[in-house]
């Protein structure tokens, strides 16, 4: 066999090449596309930018991340963000559990009306067994989850009147997004929900085609919804949406172990910073966020425990229906964590995380 030796040599050469150049089989991209829904000025945007900056610096430019706000990589359709991420159309994202709930039904957990009771209960869920289980669901879909951030507790705003009871919501046209759970909640409260993207919502609010919306107050302030007639805000903390720092699986696998560690550590640091910003009650002008709203002519309504209970009661059937859809076991665990079952929740202080 005259060419046997030749083949052997090629084999050795190939083996050496692949040993010496482990990266060559999976070249790094010149730029990685990262999707977020809101713009860079929100805590969500700032935390994401910090992640990108730390990664670029610590990898000496090997991993260059470019932010695409407005879910621009999916034409603004934020509910398609997760599938685009799975398909590799998007390399990385920091996305809301609300937007990804169509792909991961368990993410509807955070949108069960009035399940959560403040930051401590939210942390008990994300930082405990339930959070780990949810990350496994993300992994199963070919996406690598790295850290929990937070959009925040979502408050109701509208242009018509102060909302103190379900009766006040009758006929109110409220923009919602993500999953039919929100249609059910607002229908149960007598309002008229309208599903649309965040980009479309801002236009519809400006053109007065809808009356209201629900978002964390940081998002409300970022786009100054008070300037488009959203003059009433009810603080009801009915749901909160965490955001998840993730990387597409093929992209993740293409990086060296050292770079993966850098990306993961930076995600955890950026997420901690992001959560702090999302929970900040004071603005850079030193004024409290709620005082500032009032000073801008927004009427802020805080519910008494009795008033809040009426919203809880009115949405109970929706909670029961969606508990079954999310998964009873998971919701039971989340309820236990909220109720301070120490075997699940551990001690999480407001504003801090491990
Ligand atoms: O669209 C919204 O309401 C926002 C920005 O909060 C989300 O992406 C879930």
For 34-81, what is each residue's pLDDT tens digit? 999 999 999 999 999 999 999 999 999 999 999 999 999 999 999 999
Predicted local confidence at residue 7, as pLDDT: 57
**CA-CA-CA-CA dihedral for 180, 210, 228, 96, to nearest 10:** 10
The finding on whether 241 has its CB within 6 A of some atom of ligand 1 is yes
The finding on whether 48 has its CB within 6 A of some atom of ligand 1 is no
Average pLDDT rounded to a whole number, residues 237-264: 98
Cα–Cα nearest to 202, from 213, 218, 186, 217? 213
The finding on whether 222 has its CB within 6 A of some atom of ligand 1 is no
The string of pLDDT tens digits covering residues 139-163 is 999 999 999 999 999 999 999 999 9
Q: Whose CA is nearest to atom 8 of ligand 1?
A: 37
Q: Whose CA is nearest to atom 2 of ligand 1?
A: 198
Q: Is the pLDDT of residue 349 over 60?
A: no
**Model confidence at 4, in pLDDT bands (50, 70, 90)?**
low
CA–CA distance, 142 with 254 (Å, rounded to integer)? 14
* Radius of gyration, alpha carbons of the chain: 23
Average pLDDT rounded to a whole number, residues 170-189: 97
Atom of ligand 1 nearest to the CA of 38: 5
Two tokens, residue 315: 């949405």
Atom of ligand 1 nearest to the CA of 214: 3
CA–CA distance, 236 with 301 (Å, rounded to integer)? 9
Q: Is the pLDDT of residue 167 over 80?
A: yes
Identify the DSSP state of 260: H
Two tokens, residue 54: 């730390």
Largest CA distance in the chain: 91
Proportion of the chain in helix, strand, coil states, percent, rounded to 5: 50, 15, 35
pTM of the model: 0.90
Predicted local confidence at residue 344, as pLDDT: 45
Q: Is the pLDDT of residue 354 over 50?
A: no
What is the best residue among 35, 68, 78 to mutate for testing ligand 1's pocket, by most ligand atoms within 8 Å of CB? 78
The string of pLDDT tens digits covering residues 226-250 is 999 999 999 999 999 999 999 999 9
158 C-alpha to ligand 1 centroid (Å): 16
Q: Is the pLDDT of residue 353 over 70?
A: no
134 C-alpha to ligand 1 centroid (Å): 20
CA–CA distance, 81 with 243 (Å, rounded to integer)? 13
Predicted local confidence at residue 245, as pLDDT: 99
**Model confidence at 286, in pLDDT bands (50, 70, 90)?**
confident
Asked whether 24 and 18 are in contact (CB, 8 A), the reply is yes
């Amino acid at each position: 066999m005259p060419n046997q030796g030749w083949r052997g040599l090629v084999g050795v050469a190939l083996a050496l090449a692949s040993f010496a150049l482990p990266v060559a089989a999976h070249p790094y991209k010149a730029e990685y596309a990262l999707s977020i829904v809101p713009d860079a000025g929100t805590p969500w945007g700032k935390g994401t930018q910090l992640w990108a900056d730390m990664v670029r610096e610590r990898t000496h430019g090997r991993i260059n991340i470019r932010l695409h706000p407005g879910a621009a990589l999916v034409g603004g359709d934020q509910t398609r963000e997760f599938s685009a991420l799975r398909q590799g159309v998007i390399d990385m994202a920091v996305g809301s559990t609300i937007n990804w709930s169509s792909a991961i039904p368990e993410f509807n957990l955070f949108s069960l009306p009035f399940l959560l009771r403040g930051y401590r209960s939210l942390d008990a869920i994300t930082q405990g067994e339930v959070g780990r289980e949810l990350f496994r669901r993300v992994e199963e879909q070919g996406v690598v989850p790295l850290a929990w951030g937070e959009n925040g507790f979502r408050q109701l705003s509208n242009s018509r009147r102060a909302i103190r009871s379900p009766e006040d919501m009758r006929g109110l046209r409220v923009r919602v997004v993500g999953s039919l759970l929100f249609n059910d909640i607002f229908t149960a409260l007598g309002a008229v929900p309208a599903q649309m993207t965040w980009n479309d919502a801002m236009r519809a609010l400006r053109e007065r085609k809808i009356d209201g919306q629900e978002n964390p107050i940081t998002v409300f302030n970022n786009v100054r919804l008070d300037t488009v007639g959203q003059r009433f805000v009810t603080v009801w903390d009915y749901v909160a949406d965490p955001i998840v720092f993730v990387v597409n699986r093929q992209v993740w696998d293409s990086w060296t172990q050292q770079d993966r560690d850098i990306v993961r550590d930076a995600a955890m640091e950026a997420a901690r910073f992001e959560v702090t910003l999302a929970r900040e009650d004071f603005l850079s002008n030193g004024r409290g966020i709620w005082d500032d709203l009032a000073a801008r002519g927004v009427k802020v309504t805080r519910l008494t425990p009795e008033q809040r209970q009426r919203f809880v009661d009115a949405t109970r059937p929706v909670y029961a229906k969606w508990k079954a859809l999310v998964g009873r076991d998971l919701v039971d665990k989340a309820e236990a964590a909220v109720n301070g079952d120490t075997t699940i929740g551990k001690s999480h202080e407001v504003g801090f995380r491990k």
